Amino acid sequence: MTLSEQIIRRVRGDNSNSKTEETKVDLTNTISTGSTLLDLSISGGITKEGGIPGGVMVEVFGPNQSGKTVLLCEIAGNIQRKGGRICFADPEGRLDKQYSQLFGLKIKEANYSMPDTVTEVFTAIRNWNPPMKENIINGIFTDSLAALSTELEMKEDEGDKMGMRRAKEFSQELRRTCRMLKQKNYLLVCSNQIRDTTDGYSRYESPGGKAIGFYSSIRLRTDIIRKIKKTKKINEKEVTRVIGVDIEVEVVKNSIWKPYHIAPVSILFDYGIDDIRQNLQFIKDYTKDTVYSLGERKLAKSIERAIHIVESEGLEQQLRKEVIELWNEIENKFVDSERKLKWRW
């Protein structure tokens, strides 16, 4: 029995061992992040493959070079591949055509902007009217919220001396916008930076005031774990280059399912999210295998060799399926099936 079936049985109050009717989940209503393990961490308990549903706001925040823009581009590309439209607000002006092509992302000029202020971003969101089709999610992306200013802050004479206006504008604009996301089935994904804080509650927080975290249904915090290095022998000398990073993504807020799941994600600079790498590592880490394997087959001792075999033989889908099954098997261990539905008075 899958994890989602167990959860639904408990909600219905069915604690018997009899077979329940098959749980049907409409997977067209979720968008992949590009990482199988992150998809499952976000909603694996309620959908078979996980992912992000439409109608919500997602904040991706973390330190520099921790994969925030990559995540936004992977999600945007996946929306397009499922038939949805996207618009991209790029206050930092980082997204170029060559970079976006890594993710199969095609952005039309009419749907790309470099806004200066908070108001510009959210006014454009409310005025955007792509074709609405059943079971199709359209996406809105802002990279990043930290780069946005206010009209008051940009005035040379007055300025925003106390630095409070931006937080107020985020609060006002999000109040006006978030209901519309649900009504039109938009997925709003925003990146943000990270700041030290001394509020005694958490060491780090994202800038822009409390409203961003309050109105976000999902908050993903990225953190760099290690650099991925590659060594080549050139003219009898070994040359090493950093080709990517391993990061962790923690679901610090989740209104879709349970929070605080952590997913390892590998990012290669000229490739994007390397889902094969982490899927192979996950199977090795959580089984008795001492080498990288798939099903009953031993692939290789080296991760690079195992990746080559998966790609050359077209085993990506089989690998993803095995990871989903193993992940569900692990999560099932934490579902307390011994207890009945809570007695309430």
- The predicted pLDDT at position 20 comes to 32
pLDDT tens sequence across 41-53? 999 999 989 999 9
pLDDT tens sequence across 285-296? 999 899 999 999
- The predicted pLDDT at position 217 comes to 96
- The predicted pLDDT at position 137 comes to 95
- The predicted pLDDT at position 22 comes to 35
User: Percentage of residues in the chain with pLDDT exceeding 70?
Assistant: 86
Among 13-22, 185-194, 206-215, the least confident range: 13-22
Mean pLDDT to the nearest integer, 181-199: 85
Mean pLDDT to the nearest integer, 202-226: 88
Find out whether 225 and 246 touch, Cβ atoms under 8 Å: yes
Is residue 1 pLDDT above 80, yes or no? no
Mean pLDDT to the nearest integer, 189-195: 91
Is residue 204 pLDDT above 70, yes or no? no
Instruction: Give the β-pairing of 272-273 and 292-294.
Output: unpaired
Is residue 329 pLDDT above 90, yes or no? yes
Among 171-175, 205-209, 222-226, the least confident range: 205-209
Residue type, 84: G
Mean pLDDT to the nearest integer, 95-112: 83
- The predicted pLDDT at position 159 comes to 56
- Look up residue 282 and give its two tokens: 């996950």
Residue 101: pLDDT band (50, 70, 90) is: confident
Is residue 110 pLDDT above 70, yes or no? yes
CATH classification code of 17-273 = 3.40.50.300
Residue 135: pLDDT band (50, 70, 90) is: confident
Q: Which residue has the higher pLDDT, 205 or 102?
A: 102
Helix 3-12 / helix 316-332 crossing angle, nearest 10 deg? 40
Among 78-87, 164-173, 198-207, 216-225, the least confident range: 198-207
Mean pLDDT to the nearest integer, 233-257: 95
- The predicted pLDDT at position 250 comes to 97
pLDDT tens sequence across 9-30? 544 444 433 333 333 334 458 9
Q: Give the domain ranges of the chain.
A: 17-273, 275-330
- Angstrom distance (rounded) from CA 115 to CA 124: 9
HEC per residue, the chain: CCHHHHHHHHHHCCCCCCCCCCCCCCHHHEECCCCHHHHHHHHCCCCCCCCEECCCEEEEECCCCCCHHHHHHHHHHHHHHCCCCEEEECCCCCCCHHHHHCCCCCCCHHHEECCCEHHHHHHHHHHCCCCCCCCCCEEEEECCHHHCECHHHHCCCCCCCCCCHHHHHHHHHHHHHHHHHHHHCEEEEEEECCEECCCCCCCEECCCCCHHHHHCCEEEEEEEEEEEEEEEEECCEEEEEEEEEEEEEEEEEECCCCCCCEEEEEEECCCEECHHHHHHHHHHHCCCCCCEEECCEEEECCHHHHHHHHHHCCCHHHHHHHHHHHHHHHHHCCCCCCCCCCCCC
- Angstrom distance (rounded) from CA 295 to CA 2: 19
User: What mean pLDDT, rounded, does the chain reach?
Assistant: 87
pLDDT tens sequence across 148-182? 988 877 766 555 555 578 899 999 999 999 989 99
- The predicted pLDDT at position 92 comes to 86
pLDDT tens sequence across 33-76? 999 999 999 999 999 899 999 999 999 999 988 999 999 999 99
Residue 2: pLDDT band (50, 70, 90) is: low
